Amino acid sequence: MTEAVIFDLDGVLIASEEVWDEVRAAYVRERGGRYDEIVQRAMMGMSSLEWSRYLHEHAGVPDEPEAINAEVVRRMLERYREELPLIPGAVEAVRRVAKRFRIGLASSSNRELIDAVLEAAGLVGLFAATVSSEEVAHGKPAPDVYLEAARRLGAAPERCGAVEDSHGGIRSAKAAGMFVVVIPNPAYPPDEEALEAADVVLRSIEELTPDLF
Same domain, 135 and 51: no
pLDDT > 70 fraction of the chain, expressed in percent and rounded? 100
Same domain, 49 and 129: no
Looking up residue 73, the CATH number of its domain turns out to be 1.10.150
Q: Give 74-107 pLDDT, tens digit per residue.
A: 999 999 999 999 999 999 999 999 999 999 999 9
Same domain, 130 and 150: yes
* pLDDT of 46 strictly over 90: no
Q: Give 169-197 pLDDT, tens digit per residue.
A: 999 999 999 999 999 988 888 889 999 99
CB 93, CB 208: distance < 8 Å: yes
Residue range of the domain that includes 55:
17-82
Which positions ≥6 away from 211 have C-beta within 8 Å? none
The structural domain count of the chain equals 2
Same domain, 109 and 168: yes
pTM for the complete prediction? 0.92
Q: What are phi and psi of 66, to 5 degrees?
A: -60, -40
Say whether 61 sits in a helix, a strand or coil: coil
